[in-house]
Amino acid sequence: MLVRLDGRERLGDQIYQALRRSILDGSLRSGSRLPPTRALAEECAVARNTVLLAYERLLAEGYVEGRVGSGTYVTPALRTTPPTPSPNVVGAQPRPTPPRGLGVLGRRLLVDGPVSALPEPPRPVRYDFRYGLPPMDAASVDLWRRLGRRRLRHPTPASLGYGLAEGHPPLRAALADYLRRARGVVCDPEQILVVNGSQQALDLVARVLLDPGDRVAVEEPHYLGARRVFVAGGARLVPVAVDADGLDPARLPERGTRLAYVTPSHQFPTGAVLSLPRRLALLAWARRTGAWVIEDDYDSEFRYAARPIEALQGLDQGGRVLYVGTLSKVLFPALRLGYLVLPPPLVAPFVRAKALTDRHTPTFEQEVLTDMIAEGHFERHLRRMRGRNAARRLALLEALATHLGDRVEVSGANAGVHLVAWLRGVPPSALAELVERAAREDVGVYPVTPHYLTPPPRGGLLLGYAAMSEREIAEGIRALARVVDAPAPLSPASPPSKASRSARPGRGPRPGRTASAGGAS
């Protein structure tokens, strides 16, 4: 920690003043841990007693609190003023002014907000219902370690050298066999492109298939990461409303749409399943118009109340569907492994685009995953995770029923690792205040609003549950219910927090109209 000792006061007073300023201006946030006294003394080149005296003064005045065996922390209840960010800090401004000299792509990247892996709560919380986090499974971590050690004991030139842009051939063969068996995907290994997560797959789709100004149909609501990829590519978005049966192909334009992005097996974020008649109608639309269909099958491995839904790609007779899959939701997001199943004519251009992007996906991780799939460990892992997620899903549904009752309506609970809780009587404009108040009660919840181009008619929260225990889920929903039941009204006129303002989308087009790249922010 940087503490400047350049004043005329005694060293202990200077350290006290520097720490006090950092607490008051928010540089040291509420609840954050101060450096150990011995470490700070060494850094400042002073006696440890000098630092101890400064800490004792802060403790006496209520700025910090001591925790036995843990250290000294900024008092959690202390209200501080966040520091004014420097214009040179990345992410300091939610809408930065484009610097001179940016190209068209660089300017577009600043239109729709930062592309982050996952949303963040306004402050650190104990009960975090963040969606998209997989369960951390010690048995699978240990298995990955053992398989990795085995590979490292006998590395091959292919393990340590340059790999193929399209991916490790044995992994592509293992994935083709698994997808054929588990998802009904019809493909040969040569049609599979191994990518660094589904986000890279979507970026390749935008760069290979889209020209600036092309129209892209997206579900309304939709996955924010896909929207931002298409906006960066210069696409004009056509939002198509989703109902209980998913996207309605009858609402798709008959002319001028280059591709449609869908999540048919578990619509993100509502959880709707695209019905068979609509699947067939969507494929017929693609054949008729010459459009491509991007099928994002992001969490199809987890279904709890019905048999698995066959992939849309397996029904495609015209070669119009590109199938995107990821391992982030079932293994470890840090692996950055995903795959793209391509119609044969698209393989060559996509492989060349992938080679230009990053040469190839790391080979060692691909080899370990190949062993995991080929030896049956992967599907055993999925069965174990499916049972664990089912128990946590049930705990969440029971907690919502017990503590919020008919004040919530749940959708999307039959699959995946999240659901949507629609709050009766809470308008979308009040969600920012609710999220902030929930964070003060140690609960992280996330509004569904950013996933719409136009605000939804009611307020809803995305609640992820895979990374929490059943006890944590129950306690977190109990605390959330206290927030919803609090006497203070959730006024639509209440000003949103800074964090919520930066995450909230701007005004978009009315449903069914075309959104320009600038209007999809």
Q: 102, 95, 52, 97: which is closest to 72 by C-alpha?
A: 52
Q: 395, 406, 341, 450: which is closest to 118 by C-alpha?
A: 450
pLDDT at 246: 93
Whether 128 has a pLDDT exceeding 60, the answer reads: yes
pLDDT at 494: 41
Q: Which residue segments constitute the domains of the chain, with CATH numbers given?
A: 11-74 (1.10.10.10), 127-137+381-509 (3.90.1150.10), 138-379 (3.40.640.10)
pLDDT at 521: 32
Whether 220 has a pLDDT exceeding 90, the answer reads: yes
Q: What is the mean pLDDT of residues 24-37?
A: 84
More confident residue, 493 or 229: 229
Whether 17 has a pLDDT exceeding 70, the answer reads: yes
Report how far residue 353's alpha carbon sits from residue 317's, in angstroms, rounded to the nearest whole number: 26
pLDDT at 487: 58
Q: 465, 488, 372: which is closest to 417 by C-alpha?
A: 465
Inter-residue contact 158 to 146 (CB < 8 Å): no
Whether 87 has a pLDDT exceeding 90, the answer reads: no
Inter-residue contact 323 to 313 (CB < 8 Å): yes
For residue 249, name the pLDDT band (cuts at 50, 70, 90).
very high
Lowest mean per-residue pLDDT among 3-17, 191-205, 280-294: 3-17
For the ranges 136-145, 415-424, 468-477, the maximum mean pLDDT occurs at 468-477
Q: 466, 140, 177, 477: which is closest to 298 by C-alpha?
A: 466
Is residue 184 classed as helix, strand or coil in its secondary structure?
coil
More confident residue, 498 or 120: 120
- 343-400 per-position pLDDT tens digit: 999 999 999 999 998 989 989 999 999 999 999 999 998 888 888 888 999 999 999 9
Lowest mean per-residue pLDDT among 43-57, 73-87, 470-484: 73-87
Instruction: Specify the pairing of strand 292-296 against strand 321-326.
Output: parallel
Query: Degrees (nearest 5) of the Cα angle 380, 386, 389?
Result: 140
Strand order in the sheet with 459-464: 408-411, 418-423, 459-464, 446-447
Q: 336, 345, 350, 285: which is closest to 312 by C-alpha?
A: 285
Whether 478 has a pLDDT exceeding 90, the answer reads: yes
- 412-436 per-position pLDDT tens digit: 888 788 899 999 988 888 888 899 9
pLDDT at 114: 61
Is residue 116 classed as helix, strand or coil in its secondary structure?
coil
What is the overall mean pLDDT for the chain?
84
Q: Enter the tokens of residue 33.
A: 């841990």
Inter-residue contact 41 to 51 (CB < 8 Å): yes
